[in-house]
């Protein structure tokens, strides 16, 4: 499935880059023998996907009560009421599936501790979570109209995997750049 493979490839690239940077940093700070820096074996797309989506992913066809096309429940279940049948259906449906995998990603990291909630959606700054400025076109690059952290994060996750906010076509270039900066800064921290 294209969407799953694209997510797996992005996770693979991100994990292998993080491991390589850690190795390079170790070599740079080294005073002893070079062998004390461990160079980990690169992960494959499948391994990277399984590391993050460790509870599996169940795609369920049918969601009669759903108003949206897709609904993610918990850490491993995505239900679909329907797929797009208008517009660029290939792009929209791939991005719909990636958006739902973004909800699972968020749910996997969302937890409560010391009276606070943590997770990528909750970590979004107010300037990113309180509006939809900077996104690409609706339904191509936005699968929701909701101004909520979790819907906004899921749409940002689509960009993280796919790109697609060409800054020459979005109305608010500064907002777009702010979202991309947030992704570049924060997403590596979620890699195992």
Q: Which residues, in sequence order, are CB contacts of 136 under 8 Å at separation 6+?
A: 142, 159, 164, 165, 166, 169, 170
Provide the minimum distance between the beta carbon of 114 and Zn ion in the complex, in angstroms, as a whole number. Answer: 28
Cβ neighbourhood burial of 14 (10 Å; 0-12, 13-18, 19+)? middle
69 counts as binding Zn ion under rule CB under 5 A = no
Looking at beta carbons only, is 43 or 154 nearer to Zn ion?
A: 154
101 counts as binding Zn ion under rule CB under 5 A = no
> Is residue 68 classed as helix, strand or coil in its secondary structure?
coil
Q: Which residues, in sequence order, are CB contacts of 93 under 8 Å at separation 6+?
A: 3, 83, 84
156 counts as binding Zn ion under rule CB under 5 A = no
Q: Which stretch binds Zn ion (CB under 5 A): 6-14, 16-24, 25-33, 137-145?
A: 137-145
Looking at beta carbons only, is 43 or 69 nearer to Zn ion?
A: 69
Provide the minimum distance between the beta carbon of 142 and Zn ion in the complex, in angstroms, as a whole number. Answer: 10
Q: How far is CA 141 from the centre of its chain?
A: 13
Provide the minimum distance between the beta carbon of 166 and Zn ion in the complex, in angstroms, as a whole number. Answer: 23
121 counts as binding Zn ion under rule CB under 5 A = no
Determine which residue in the list 128, 154, 158, 175 makes contact with Zn ion, applying CB under 5 A: 154
Q: Which stretch binds Zn ion (CB under 5 A): 14-22, 111-119, 144-152, 156-164?
A: 144-152
Helix or strand holding residue 46 (H, E)? helix 45-52
The binding site for Zn ion (CB under 5 A) comprises 144, 151, 154
């Amino acid at each position: 499935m294209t969407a799953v493979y694209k997510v797996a490839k992005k996770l693979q690239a991100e994990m292998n880059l993080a491991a390589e940077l850690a190795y390079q940093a170790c070599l740079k700070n080294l005073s002893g023998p070079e062998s004390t820096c461990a160079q980990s074996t690169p992960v494959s797309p499948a391994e990277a996907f399984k590391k993050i989506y460790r509870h599996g992913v169940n795609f369920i066809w049918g969601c009669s009560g759903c108003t949206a096309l897709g609904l993610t429940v918990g850490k491993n279940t995505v239900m679909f009421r329907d797929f797009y049948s208008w517009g660029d259906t290939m792009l929209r449906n791939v991005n719909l599936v990636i958006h739902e995998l973004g909800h699972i990603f968020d749910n996997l990291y969302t937890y409560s501790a010391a009276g606070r909630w943590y997770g990528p959606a909750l970590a979004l700054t107010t300037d990113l979570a309180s509006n939809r400025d900077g996104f690409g076109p609706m339904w191509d690059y936005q699968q929701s109209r909701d101004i909520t952290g979790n819907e906004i994060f899921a749409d940002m996750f689509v960009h993280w995997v796919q790109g697609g906010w060409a800054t020459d076509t979005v109305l608010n270039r500064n907002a777009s750049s702010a979202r991309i900066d947030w992704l570049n800064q924060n997403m590596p921290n979620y890699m195992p």
